[in-house]
Each structure stands twice: as structure tokens, then as C-alpha cells.
Structure 1
């Protein structure tokens, strides 16, 4: 049995290196994690391509829902091309139709023509029919689905996650994400059967001073910003490894 993979989502190049150097198996590279993750810049992708582990670029042109216009889809296709050009190992993306299904008419050719591996992001959690959504994700060519079990936090929806794993029947990897930490990793793994975890491993870094211009002008929130924590990556990696050792 293979070990559990740890994917860490980051929105800075410093965070990407911290995650890679402290136990992450893969990076989800984003801009604006505060918005749920948006497409990183070409420069960011080029810099991250030098990391020693696979990097998947988020392809999401804006915050909000996942029903995209034709103009937005054109942007997404161009961003997918840039991800390949700048050395990404894969992409993280998704799109939904107006009737709550996965938009495989867009996603399937987008993935096929890219030549990149694909993770279906948490658009999955907004879809109405789990079995159909899983089948559509497989048909579209995704290698994994990131899901919280259709709730805000993965550890509060373990039964749903276990059902998704059961429905997938090993045809596609199921990766649990949202609220995952070293404190709940073992329980999530034990009760759901997933073999991949996704986390930001971030902590709140307070602003140096409430008087600094970035705070007073609103560029930095009064309570600070979230940054990738080396300690939290190491703690989550250790929790996963301990679970894997006990499972074997």
C-alpha cells in the first residue's frame, strides 16, 4: 500500500519553498488564497517550476461561482497553456453548468489538449449528484477530486467523504481538503479511506504595527495575513507518516 500524499496550497513563492522543504509531496500554486485561490501569474508559475516536487497551478479566473462565460473560458484556456509553457506538472480547475453538473464539454477538451494532469477542485462540492459528478470527472480526464464532502470543513463531513471514496471505487483519487491539520489528519484518513490530504498549513502573521501604511490603507488586514508555516507542514507530515506506519 502506498503512503498518503500531502498537497499544500500556497499563494507565495516563499510558501511554496517552505512546503516543499518540510514534507509536502505536491504544491497547489494559487494567487489570493483569501478568495479561495485564483490563477497565479506566469512569473509565479515560472519561479515555482524550480521546486523539487510537482506543482499544480490553479486555473480559476475570478472568485465567486464556477459558471463561466465564454470570455472567461477563453482566459482559462490561455492560462492552461501558460501553465504548461512555464513547467507546471498539472492544473487544478473546474467549471459547472447552469443545471448543476460538471461542465465536461469545456473541461474535457481543455485537459486533453493541455497534456497536463488535472485535479478537479471543490466545484465538486457544489454539484448535485455525487455519482454523476464522479463519473463526469473521470470522463473529463481528471486524476483526482478535491472535496470536503460538500461541507465547509472536511472533518465535519467524514461520512460523506467515505461515501465519495466508495463511489469512486478506485477509478479516481479522492483528496480530502478544507480545515485539514495535524490535529485531525489521522481521523480523516481512518474514517474515510482517502489517500491524499490537502491543506494550507498556514498561520496568521500579525502586522508589524497598526500604524504601518499598508495597514492604514487597507492593503493588510488589521489582524494580519496568513502565511505558510514550516512547523505546521512538518506536524501534518508527521501525523500522516505515523498513520501510514500504523496502517501497514
Structure 2
């Protein structure tokens, strides 16, 4: 596939799930924040305290709206929680939400997404990587455009963005500027520049995290796993330096 050069400076979104991570990502130069809890399972809805803390952010903050780990097929109680979380994000003054919903066959759940988008109102909206499970990425992209999403976070249908570079490039071509394609999954300083030039994506998403070993007694008491992750100022700066 012919590489598609980005039209302007590539924007960097950093996902964080702690108060320190939020402060570090802002200080390190993130263009936008995805605010979560539990990044070890792909990100869940952040706590009310973290949402309140992010309300003073000098850069746009989009809150993940995902009430539980697992699939993206949501029942009545899940949806009630998601609507309430979106209302809380709007009242806190954050810039947007990150949402997604699927049918059992992994196609996007149009009615659920339409309901969540209506609840979001004027908030910005990112469609998350539930998109990558869909059987037809081209159909899913057109639905995202019709629903008014600003962007799609995707690895191009592969397990990570570098492996899905052909798919990402095809999505950028199909999107024709109607919706942003934001590459995410496995993005590191050493592969970022080539990925952007190959695919033409205008936005990239990463965690900028490093392994942090918790104290042995904390692990022994079951308050942490053997490995934890922490947002790294240096890792984010390295990502910024690699941006075309």
C-alpha cells in the first residue's frame, strides 16, 4: 500500500489511570489525555475523584466509559451505569468520552451507541477498540461517521498497530478526513515514526508506561500484583520526540 503522509503534526494521546499519571502526562507534553482506571484490562471508567482532578487539566481529557472488564456487549444495568458516568463527565467539564458497544457477533451495536452519543450531547466522542473486533471495518467506520464520532482508536484490526499498518492505511484512505483514525496498541518510540509515515494517521495513542516493582510486603498482602506499571515522563517525551 502506498504510504500516506500525515497532513500536519501528529497528535499524541496518552492514557493514564492514576493522579500521578495524569500530572506526568500533562507535564511531558501530551496533546490529549484518555482518563481511565484499570489500564491492565484495557481501561475502565475512572473514579469520581480522578475525574474531578482532571477537570482542571490544561489539555483536553476524554474519560473512558466502560463499566466492567470483558466484552462490549452491554445489558440494561451496564447501560444505566454508562449513562450516569457520561452525565458525571459532562458535569465535571471534561472534553469528551471514549465509548464503544458491540453485538454478540462483534459488529457495532448501533442503537446502544446512538443512545450513548445522545447522552454525551456536545461532548467529544472517541470510538474505542471495540472497533477492532468488528467483522467489517469499512462498515463500522461508516457507522462511526454517521453517529458523529470525532475519531476511532484502532490497531487496524490486528493485535497491535504496527502489525495492522496496512489496515490503518486503508482506514485513513476510506475516512477521507471525515473522521480521524488514531493508531493505538504497541506503539513505541522506535516504531512510531515509520508507522505514521506508512499509514498517514494524524493521531497516535500510547500509555507511556514503565514497569514499577511494588514492595514485596505489599505483594505478599495481596495489595498489588508482582508487577505494576507507572506513567513515565521520559517515555512520553521519547514518544513526542519520535512524532513526525
Normalising by structure 1, report the TM-score.
Answer: 0.93
TM-aligned CA deviation for residue 160 of structure 1: 1.1
| 1:193 counterpart residue number | 200
The reply to whether residue 229 of structure 1 matches residue 232 of structure 2 is yes
Aligned residues: 237
Q: 1:64-79, aligned counterparts within 5 Å?
A: 64-79=70-85
Structure 2 distance, partners of 1:216, 1:110, is 41
The reply to whether residue 107 of structure 1 matches residue 113 of structure 2 is yes
Q: 1:212-227, aligned counterparts within 5 Å?
A: 212=217, 214-222=218-226, 224-227=227-230
Matched residue SS, 2:187? coil
Unaligned 5+ segments in structure 1 are: 244-248
Normalising by structure 2, report the TM-score.
Answer: 0.94
Q: Could you tell me which of 9, 18, 29 is aligned with 1:12? A: 18
| 1:164 counterpart residue number | 171
Matched residue SS, 2:236? helix
- Taking CA–CA contacts closer than 8 Å with sequence separation of 6 or more, which of the two structures ends up with the larger relative contact order? 2
| 2:4 counterpart residue number | none
The reply to whether residue 239 of structure 1 matches residue 242 of structure 2 is yes
The reply to whether residue 57 of structure 1 matches residue 63 of structure 2 is yes
TM-aligned CA deviation for residue 109 of structure 1: 3.2
TM-aligned CA deviation for residue 51 of structure 1: 1.3
Unaligned 5+ segments in structure 2 are: 1-6
TM-aligned CA deviation for residue 161 of structure 1: 1.0
Consecutive aligned runs of 4 or more in structure 1 exceeding 3 Å deviation: none
Q: Could you tell me which of 149, 152, 156 is aligned with 2:159? A: 152
Deviation string, structure 1 residues 119-152 (Cα, Å, up to 9, x no partner) = 0000000001111100111112210000011122
Structure 1 distance, partners of 2:46, 2:75, is 20
Contact 1:56 1:91 in 2 (8 A): yes
Q: 1:128-147, aligned counterparts within 5 Å?
A: 128-147=135-154
After superposition, the CA RMSD in angstroms is 1.1
Contact 1:42 1:86 in 2 (8 A): no
Contact 1:207 1:225 in 2 (8 A): yes
Structure 1 distance, partners of 2:60, 2:24, is 14
